Amino acid sequence: ASVTFSDDHSLVSAVLPTGESVSVLLHGATVLSWKDASGTEKLWLSTASALDGTKPVRGGIPLVFPFFGPPPPGLSLPQHGFARSARWEFLGKSTSESAGGVGVVDLSAKLDFGLSSAGLDAATREAWPFAFNLIYTVTLDRGSLTTSLVVSNDDEARPFDCQVLMHTYLRVADIAQTEITGLDGASYVDKVDGAATKTQSAAVTIAGETDRVYTPMASGAQVAVVEGGKKTFSVARDNLANVVVWNPWADKAKGMADFEPKDGYKNMLCVEPGAVSGWQTLEPGDAFEGAQTITYYS
Ligand code: BG6
């Protein structure tokens, strides 16, 4: 048995022989779907999301670059930057073997995508005039999904500052029964309370609009999603110091034209690894790499 790949110049997919699958839209290199062996979807995707490139995808895993949130003063670019709106190039696919159970060899699939300054439209290139190169790798293993971004400064002379974030929309059965562990003791900026800095105590529960930028302690426990008392996801970060936790709740969801169904906020939780509380300064020739691995437990 081998991995089945497909590419229709808009969507690239991989299916493992054991049934797990992932699909990535070239628009934004947005992971749209990630399913386990039984075909159960692990990500939330709005049914009203634009998938034709006219708007960023509302759901899946949009990529945030070169800044998080509204544009810094003087930059005329959309919220969360241009990476999630640009059309990426599919660079290639590969398969590798890893040891599964006793005597079992599991296959994993890797998809590589690229975006560079040359791939931007003229207006965006003018607004952010740096020579950069992004390589985004999506790796599907039997029980996990890894997304990894390498940002390089290809400019000959100028440094640039950037932020990166993986805006993962996890699918949950019932937000009222869901909590996030591993953030106990972490400091966070509460964006729904005037950007006040607070300290998390105990698990994070979501009972209203939630928009927080956490800086987990380096020595802290792994961030995990617990549903009805049972761990359903863990989110490991590599070189990404922050975790944004976002749920728009009922009123904000109502105000978002591309958020459907309107009560979908009960079935999603954004847990977003990123490097967003400061800036990465990349000198010419420098690179920054950050990654997340999401593991599910069923
Ligand atoms: C989160 C931000 O990461 O993304 C929120 O912290 C924001 O402030 C949310 O509302 C969704 O952003 P957008 O641009 O996709 O509507």
Distance CA 32, CA 89 (A): 16
Write the CA distances from 111 to 38, 56, 129, 146, 147, integer angstroms.
22, 20, 28, 11, 10
Domain made up of 4-296: CATH architecture: Distorted Sandwich (2.70)
Catalytic residue of the set 20, 27, 80, 167: 167
Rounded Cα gap, residues 268 and 259, in angstroms = 11
Residues 156-203 have pLDDT tens digits of 999 999 999 999 999 999 999 999 999 999 999 999 999 999 999 999
CA-nearest residue for atom 1, ligand 1, is 246
Q: Which amino acid is at 238?
A: D
Complete DSSP assignment for 157-191: S--EEEEEEE--EEE-S-GGGEEEES-TT-EEEET
Identify whether 167 is a catalytic site residue: yes
- pLDDT one-digit tens code per residue, 48-103: 999 999 999 999 999 999 999 999 999 999 999 999 999 999 999 999 987 777 77
Domain ranges of the chain: 4-296
Give the contacts of 230 (CB within 8 A, at least 6 positions apart).
297
Write the ipTM: 0.98
What pTM does this model have?
Answer: 0.97
Mutation probe of ligand 1 site: the residue of 44, 46, 80 with most atoms within 8 A of C-beta: 80
